Amino acid sequence: MPENGNGYPRKIGARGLCPICGRIVSEKFRPFCSKRCADVDLHRWLSGGYVIAGSEDSEEDGAESAEPAAPKPRKDEEN
């Protein structure tokens, strides 16, 4: 059975176990066992601890432009 990093065994996909420490889930903090584990998970998200593997694209929308966009004229140059 895999461990979760804290020495507690964890069943993958088990609904009744905290994903952080492996203890039994509390209904109040579901899917975690306590506020502490919920805060640990939040910190991991905010600090970039959870990362989805993939390649970096030059464009966020995936479309690459062959021509650079023309610069916009300044207001004092418009006539």
Residue 45 buriedness (CB in 10 A; 0-12 / 13-18 / 19+): exposed
Digit-coded pLDDT (tens) for 12-57: 445 689 999 999 999 999 999 999 999 999 999 999 888 888 877 6
Neighbour count for residue 52 (Cβ, 10 Å): 4
Q: How confident is the model at residue 11 (pLDDT cuts 50, 70, 90)?
A: low
Tokens standing for 45?
Answer: 């998200």
- Residue 34 and residue 20: Cα distance in Å, rounded? 10
Digit-coded pLDDT (tens) for 67-76: 666 677 777 7
Which of the four CATH numbers 3.40.50, 3.30.50, 3.10.620, 1.10.357 does domain 1-49 have? 3.30.50
Question: What residue segments make up the domains of the chain, in order of their start?
Answer: 1-49
